[in-house]
C-alpha cells in the first residue's frame, strides 16, 4: 500500500501538471502522513542535506559555462573547424553537424543546449543546400542528444551523486560510448546523403587554411582540454573544473571574443541559476524518497520480480534497457535518474555489471528517450528552430533512434567500450 501511494501519488500529481520535483515531494509527504515510516522532520531536513553536496555544484557551473560558451561565439568557431575537415564529403553538412555537436558536447553538459547552440546555425544552411527538412531537424535533435553523453554531462553528475560513484570515473567512461554514438549517426547520415545525393561543398581547404581556422578556434578547442585534462590530470575535481570553465567563459566571452557585453553578464548568470534550480528542485525531495524505498524494501521487490521473469543476464539487461527507454520517453531525465538508480543499481551490480558502466547505459537510454516522440524535449527545440511540424520530425527521427539503440546494445554488451578508459587511467 505504501508503494502504491508513493508511486501512484507521483504519477497522479505529475499528470495534474504539478512540477516534477514537487510531485515527488507531495508523494513522499503523502506516504509519510499515511504510514509514518519516516519522520516528517527527516524529510524537511533532507531538503537541505541533499543539496549540501560539492559534486552537485558541478551542475550549475556546467550549465552556466555552456551558456557562456554558446553566447560567447564559441559554438560558431567549433562549427567552422568541423566544416573545413568534413564539409567537402558527400552529406558534408550533415557530418559537420554531428562533429560540431560532439565538440560542443565536450563543453556543454546538456542535450537541449547543444541542439539550440548548433541547430540554430546549421538548419538554415542545410535548407539552402536542399536537405530534406525532416531529415535535418531529426539529425540535429539526435546529434544534440550527444550533449548529455559526452562529458561533461549534468545527467552523469546527478547519477554519480545518486549512486555514490566517482564522477571522474563516469566522465571518463562516457567518452568512447559518446563517440561511438556520434560515429553511428555519421555513418547513417552518410548513407542517406549518398542515396539522396546531398553533395558536399565544392571548396576544399588547404592545410594552411585548416590551420588558420583551428587557430581562430583555439580558445574554444582549449575548453575540453582544460576540463577533461584538468580532471584526469588530477588538477581539479569535476566541480572545480566546471568553475574554471565558467571563469574561462567570462574571460573569453567578454574580453577575448567580445560577444557578451559586460552588462549582459548578470542576465546570463541569472538564467543559468534559474534553470539549474528548476532542474535540481527534485534533489531536495530525493533524500526522503530514498529512505522510504530502502525501508519498504522496494528495490528488492522489483529485483525479485525481474529475476522471476528470466534468469538470463542478457535478457535482464535488455529488459532494463527497454524499461529505461520507456521511462526516458515519459519522464524528465533527472527525475528518472533519481527514482530508478536506487531501484535498478542493486539488480545490475548483482549480475556483475559495474555501477560506472550502468551509469553510461542509463545516460544514453534517457538521452534517446529525449528524442523519442511523443514527448522528447529535443524534438520540440529542434522543431522550433527549423519550423517543421512535430508529425514530420516524429517520422524522420525513427531511423535515428534505431541507429542509436543499436549503438546502445553494443555499449550494453561490450563493457570494455565504457570501462576501457577508466581502467586504463584510474589505476
Partner 1 sequence: MKKILTWLDDYFESIFMVPLLFSMSIIIGIQVFMRYVAKNSLAWSEEVSRYMFIYLMYFGISYGVRKGRHIRILVFTNLFSLRVRKTLMLISDILFLIFAVIITLQSTEVAQLIARLGQITASTEISMSVVYSAVPIGFTLVSIRLIQNLVYKIRNFSSPFETFNHRPMHGIKNTIPAVGNSGEDK
Within residues 33-72, the interface with partner 1 by CB under 8 A covers 40-41, 43-45, 47-48, 51-54, 56-57, 60-61, 63-64
Question: Contact 98/135 with Cβ under 8 angstroms?
Answer: no
Q: x/- site string to partner 1, residues 359 to 378, per CB under 8 A?
A: -------xx--x---xxxx-
The CB-of-282 to partner 1 minimum distance in angstroms stands at 9
Total binding residues toward partner 1, as defined by CB under 8 A: 73
Closest approach, Cβ 174 to partner 1, in A, equals: 14
- The CB density around residue 134, as the number of other CB atoms within 10 Å, is 18
Round to whole Å and give the CA distance between 9 and 397: 33
CA dist list (Å): 45 to 36, 58, 108: 16, 22, 32
Query: Of residues 79-118, which lie at the interface with partner 1 (CB under 8 A)?
Result: 110-113
* Choice between 78 and 154, CB closer to partner 1: 154
State how far the Cα of 202 lies from the Cα of 142, in Å rounded to an integer.
27
Q: Which stretch binds partner 1 (CB under 8 A): 93-101, 243-251, 313-321, 354-362?
A: 243-251
| Angstrom distances, CA of residue 231 to CA of 120, 150, 201 | 31, 14, 38
Minimum distance of partner 1 from residue 135's CB (angstroms): 23
CB of 332 to partner 1, least distance (A): 5
- Closer residue to partner 1, CB minimum distance, 323 or 351: 323
Nearer to partner 1, 21 or 253 (CB): 21
Q: Which is nearer to partner 1, 273 or 297 (CB)?
A: 273
> Rounded distance, CA 412 to CA 405, Å?
10
- Look up residue 234 and give its three cell numbers: 588530477
Site map 162..201 versus partner 1, x via CB under 8 A: ----------------------------------------
* Binding test (CB under 8 A) with partner 1, winner from 142, 272, 357, 365: 272
Q: Which is nearer to partner 1, 143 or 189 (CB)?
A: 143
| Choices 95-103, 274-282, 289-297, 347-355 (CB under 8 A): range interacting with partner 1 | 274-282
Under the binding rule (CB under 8 A), the answer on residue 243 touching partner 1 is: yes
Residues 213-232 that bind partner 1 (CB under 8 A): none
Rule CB under 8 A: choose which of 136, 142, 162, 239 binds partner 1.
Answer: 239
Q: How many CB atoms lie within 10 A of CB 321?
A: 20
Among 102, 244, 325, 348, which residue sits at the site for partner 1 (rule: CB under 8 A)? 244
Q: List all residues 6 or more positions away from 190 whose beta carbon is below 8 Å from its beta carbon.
A: 89, 90, 91, 94, 95
Stretch that binds partner 1, among 22-30, 87-95, 252-260, 345-353 (CB under 8 A): 22-30
Contacts of 115 (CB under 8 A, 6+ apart): 140, 141, 144, 145, 147, 378, 381, 382, 385
Under 8 Å between Cβ of 281 and 26:
no
**Quick check: 381 and 395 in contact, CB under 8 A?**
no
Q: Tell me the three-class secondary structure of 82-145, residue by residue.
A: HHHHHCCCCCHHHHHHHHHHHHHHCCCCCHHHHHHHHHHHHHHHHHHCCCCHHHHHHHHHHHHH
Can you tell me which of 82, 100, 140, 331 binds partner 1, judged by CB under 8 A? Answer: 331
Q: Which is nearer to partner 1, 57 or 95 (CB)?
A: 57
Q: Which stretch binds partner 1 (CB under 8 A): 7-15, 78-86, 126-134, 212-220?
A: 7-15
Candidate list 10, 236, 257, 358; residue touching partner 1; CB under 8 A: 236
For 276-305, b/e burial (b = at least 16 CB within 10 A) is beebbbbbbbbbbbbbbbeebebbeebbee
CA–CA separation, 145 vs 143, rounded Å?
5
The footprint of partner 1 on residues 114-153 (CB under 8 A) is 148
Q: How far is the CB of 71 from partner 1 (least distance, A)?
A: 13
Smallest separation, CB 333 to partner 1 (Å): 3
Closest contact distance (angstroms) between CB of 375 and partner 1 is: 5
Nearer to partner 1, 24 or 95 (CB): 24
The answer to whether 400 and 185 have CB atoms below 8 angstroms apart is yes
Residue 229, C-beta contacts closer than 8 angstroms, at least 6 positions apart: 235
Q: Which is nearer to partner 1, 95 or 123 (CB)?
A: 123
Render 219-242 in DSSP notation, one character per residue: HHHHHHIIIIIHHHTTS--HHHHH
- By beta-carbon proximity to partner 1, the closer residue of 37 and 187 is 37
Continuous segment of H or E residues that includes residue 267 = helix 265-296
- In angstroms, rounded to a whole number, what is the distance separating the alpha carbons of residues 171 and 56? 14
C-alpha cell of 61?
557551473
Residue of 2, 19, 120, 399 interacting with partner 1 (CB under 8 A) = 19
Amino acid at each position: 500500500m505504501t508503494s502504491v501511494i508513493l508511486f501512484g501519488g507521483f504519477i497522479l500529481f505529475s499528470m495534474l501538471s504539478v512540477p516534477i520535483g514537487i510531485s515527488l515531494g507531495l508523494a513522499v509527504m503523502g506516504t509519510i502522513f499515511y504510514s509514518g515510516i519516516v519522520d516528517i522532520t527527516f524529510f524537511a531536513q533532507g531538503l537541505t542535506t541533499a543539496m549540501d553536496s560539492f559534486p552537485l555544484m558541478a551542475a550549475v557551473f556546467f550549465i552556466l559555462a555552456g551558456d557562456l560558451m554558446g553566447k560567447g561565439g564559441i559554438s560558431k568557431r567549433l562549427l567552422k573547424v568541423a566544416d573545413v575537415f568534413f564539409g567537402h564529403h558527400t552529406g558534408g553538412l550533415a557530418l559537420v553537424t554531428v562533429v560540431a555537436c560532439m565538440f560542443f558536447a565536450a563543453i556543454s553538459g546538456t542535450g537541449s543546449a547543444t541542439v539550440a547552440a548548433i541547430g540554430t546555425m546549421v538548419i538554415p544552411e542545410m535548407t539552402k543546400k536542399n536537405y530534406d527538412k525532416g531529415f535535418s531537424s531529426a539529425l540535429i535533435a539526435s546529434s544534440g542528444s550527444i550533449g548529455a553523453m559526452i562529458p561533461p554531462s549534468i545527467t552523469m553528475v546527478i547519477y554519480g551523486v545518486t549512486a555514490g560513484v566517482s564522477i571522474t570515473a563516469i566522465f571518463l567512461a562516457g567518452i568512447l560510448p559518446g563517440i561511438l554514438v556520434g560515429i553511428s549517426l555519421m555513418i547513417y547520415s552518410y548513407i542517406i546523403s549518398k542515396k539522396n545525393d546531398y553533395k558536399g561543398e565544392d571548396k576544399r581547404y588547404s592545410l594552411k587554411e585548416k590551420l588558420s581556422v583551428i587557430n581562430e578556434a583555439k580558445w574554444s578547442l582549449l575548453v575540453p582540454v582544460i576540463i577533461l585534462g584538468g580532471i584526469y590530470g588530477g588538477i581539479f575535481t569535476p566541480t572545480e573544473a566546471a568553475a574554471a570553465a565558467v571563469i574561462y567563459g567570462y574571460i573569453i566571452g567578454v574580453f577575448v571574443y567580445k560577444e557578451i557585453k559586460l552588462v549582459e553578464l548578470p542576465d546570463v548568470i541569472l538564467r543559468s541559476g534559474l534553470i539549474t534550480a528548476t532542474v535540481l528542485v527534485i534533489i531536495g525531495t530525493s533524500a526522503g524518497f530514498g529512505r522510504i524505498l530502502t525501508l519498504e524494501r522496494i528495490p528488492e521487490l522489483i529485483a525479485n520480480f525481474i529475476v522471476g521473469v528470466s534468469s538470463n543476464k542478457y535478457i535482464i539487461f535488455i529488459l532494463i534497457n527497454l524499461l529505461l527507454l520507456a521511462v526516458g520517453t515519459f519522464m524528465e531525465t533527472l527525475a528518472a535518474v533519481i527514482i530508478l538508480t536506487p531501484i535498478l543499481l542493486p539488480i545490475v551490480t548483482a549480475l556483475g555489471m559495474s555501477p560506472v558502466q550502468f551509469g553510461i547505459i542509463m545516460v544514453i537510454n534517457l538521452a534517446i528517450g529525449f528524442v523519442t516522440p511523443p514527448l522528447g524535449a529535443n524534438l520540440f527545440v529542434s522543431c522550433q528552430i527549423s519550423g517543421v511540424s512535430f508529425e514530420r520530425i516524429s517520422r524522420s527521427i525513427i531511423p535515428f533512434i534505431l541507429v542509436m539503440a543499436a549503438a546502445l546494445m553494443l555499449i550494453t554488451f561490450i563493457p570494455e567500450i565504457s570501462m576501457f578508459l577508466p581502467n586504463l587511467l584510474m589505476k
